[in-house]
Amino acid sequence: MKKLINIIVCFLLAIGAQSVNAQEKEKHYTLTVYTSVSKSESSFDEKHPLCNSLNCSWNRFQANYRRVSKVSTGFSGQAVEIYKPAIYNAVVKTDKYIRKAASKGEITKEDAIATLKHILDCANALAMESDTKSFEKEIAGAKTPESIIRFFSQVELEYV
């Protein structure tokens, strides 16, 4: 009897996992990227440690999500406000993960650059969108860098 209950529980868990996987596969996002905005200059001038070809996207990401303002009180001369922190934190976490994986040789540098370029382009497109609450909620639920990469791989970019 106990074996039968264990088999039924395992069967129900397997069905539940399949339905969750089916729901995850059904989700697909399409974002519009305006090329005139994507080629604009950024106020940030940082070099990305992985590759110089990422500098433009990385600096645009920093400009879109970090609001720096001067402060006259306190120890620091500036305050930094993060715009859409769920997206910002997910991208920063993934960036660190991809850089470490590339330096350890776990993934090729070309794959790392392509993956990070796509994620940065998605994040830059999301910065221009006004209603991203559902997207932010879902990305905040992705706790590991692998799940964040999987989530961004479901996003398709349309260049206009």
Q: How confident is the model at residue 67 (pLDDT cuts 50, 70, 90)?
A: confident
Helix residue ranges, H only, 46-160 = 55-65, 85-104, 109-128, 133-141, 145-153
pLDDT at residue 9 greater than cutoff 70: no
Contact status, residue 54 vs residue 120, Cβ threshold 8 Å: yes
Instruction: Confirm whether 15 is domain-assigned.
Output: no
CA 81 vs CA 43, 56, 63, 64: distances in Å: 15, 21, 11, 11
pLDDT at residue 1 greater than cutoff 60: no
Angstrom distance (rounded) from CA 89 to CA 95:
10
Instruction: Confirm whether 103 is domain-assigned.
Output: yes
Interval 96-136: pLDDT, tens: 999 999 999 999 999 999 999 999 999 998 988 888 898 89
Instruction: Confirm whether 12 is domain-assigned.
Output: no
Instruction: Confirm whether 17 is domain-assigned.
Output: no
Which pLDDT value is given to residue 143? 87
Bigger pLDDT: 96 vs 30: 96
Which pLDDT value is given to residue 31? 72
Q: Which domain holds residue 133?
A: 28-159
Which pLDDT value is given to residue 148? 94
**pTM, 2 dp:** 0.73
Residue 54: Cβ within 10 Å count: 19
Instruction: Confirm whether 23 is domain-assigned.
Output: no
Q: Above pLDDT 90, what percent of the chain?
A: 31
Which pLDDT value is given to residue 7? 46
Which pLDDT value is given to residue 21? 44
Angstrom distance (rounded) from CA 69 to CA 106:
39
Specify the number of domains making up the chain: 1
Which pLDDT value is given to residue 110? 92
Average pLDDT over residues 74-82: 75
